[in-house]
C-alpha cells in the first residue's frame, strides 16, 4: 500500500498490518500513533528507532509468531504468509539439509531455551545452517542481542514490503 493509504487506515487496521511485521505491542503502538508519516523512509526510520528499544521480554514474546527455520508455518494470516515467503531459499527436497537444520534447531533450543531466529529472506538453506552453527558458539547475552537484531531486520523488511513505494531498505 502507499504511505498515504497506511496513514489513513483506521487504528485497528494499521495495528493489525504492523503486528504482521512483528508482534511487539510497543512497536505497533508507536508506529500507529505516529501517523501520518511524510514518506516510507520516515516510517522505516521510526520503526528502526523503536526496534532499538525492545526489551528481552518483548523479543522473547515475539518469537512465538515465527516457525523454526526449515519448518513451514502451518497457520494462516499475514505473519504466516511472510514466513512462507521468507524461507523460500530452503529446498524442501533437500532431506540432508532439512535433517541438519532440525538437529541444529534442537541444539540451539537446548542451549538458549528459545527458537533460532534469523532473517531468512534472500539467504540459502546452507547460509542459514552456517549462521545457526556459528551462533551456537555465542554466549547467552550476545545471542539475545543477535536475536533482537535479526527480529528487527525481519520486521523492517516486512514493513518495507507493506508500504509499496518504500525506498529505504532495512
CA 118/CA 120 separation, integer angstroms: 6
**For residue 35, what is its C-alpha cell?**
501517523
CA 138/CA 161 separation, integer angstroms: 31
Q: Which of 29, 42, 66, 82 is catalytic?
A: 66
82 is catalytic: no
Report how far Cα 24 is from the mean position of its chain's Cα atoms.
Answer: 11
The three-state DSSP-derived secondary structure of 77-100 is: CHHHHHHHHHHHHCCCCCHHHHHH
End-to-end alpha-carbon separation of the chain, Å? Answer: 17
From the list 133, 122, 67, 123, the residue with the least C-alpha distance to 100 is 133
Q: Could you identify the residue written with the cell 539467504?
A: 123
**For residue 21, what is its C-alpha cell?**
511485521
From the list 154, 115, 125, the residue with the least C-alpha distance to 24 is 154
Q: Which residues are catalytic?
A: 66
Amino acid at each position: 500500500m502507499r504511505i498515504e493509504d497506511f496513514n489513513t487506515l483506521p487504528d485497528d487496521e494499521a495495528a493489525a498490518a504492523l503486528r504482521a511485521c512483528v508482534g511487539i505491542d510497543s512497536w505497533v503502538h508507536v508506529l500507529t500513533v505516529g501517523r501520518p508519516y511524510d514518506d516510507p523512509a520516515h516510517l522505516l526510520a521510526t520503526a528502526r528507532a523503536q526496534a532499538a528499544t525492545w526489551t528481552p521480554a518483548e523479543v522473547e514474546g515475539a518469537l512465538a509468531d515465527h516457525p523454526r527455520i526449515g519448518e513451514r508455518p502451518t497457520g494462516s494470516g499475514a505473519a504466516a504468509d511472510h514466513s512462507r515467503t521468507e524461507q523460500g531459499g530452503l529446498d524442501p527436497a533437500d532431506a540432508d539439509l532439512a535433517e541438519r537444520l532440525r538437529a541444529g534447531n534442537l541444539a540451539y533450543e537446548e542451549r538458549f531455551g528459545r527458537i533460532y531466529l534469523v532473517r531468512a529472506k534472500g539467504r540459502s538453506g546452507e547460509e542459514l545452517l552456517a549462521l545457526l552453527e556459528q551462533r551456537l558458539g555465542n554466549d547467552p547475552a550476545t545471542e539475545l542481542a543477535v536475536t533482537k537484531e535479526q527480529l528487527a531486520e525481519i520486521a523492517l523488511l516486512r514493513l518495507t514490503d507493506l508500504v509499496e513505494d518504500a525506498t529505504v531498505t532495512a
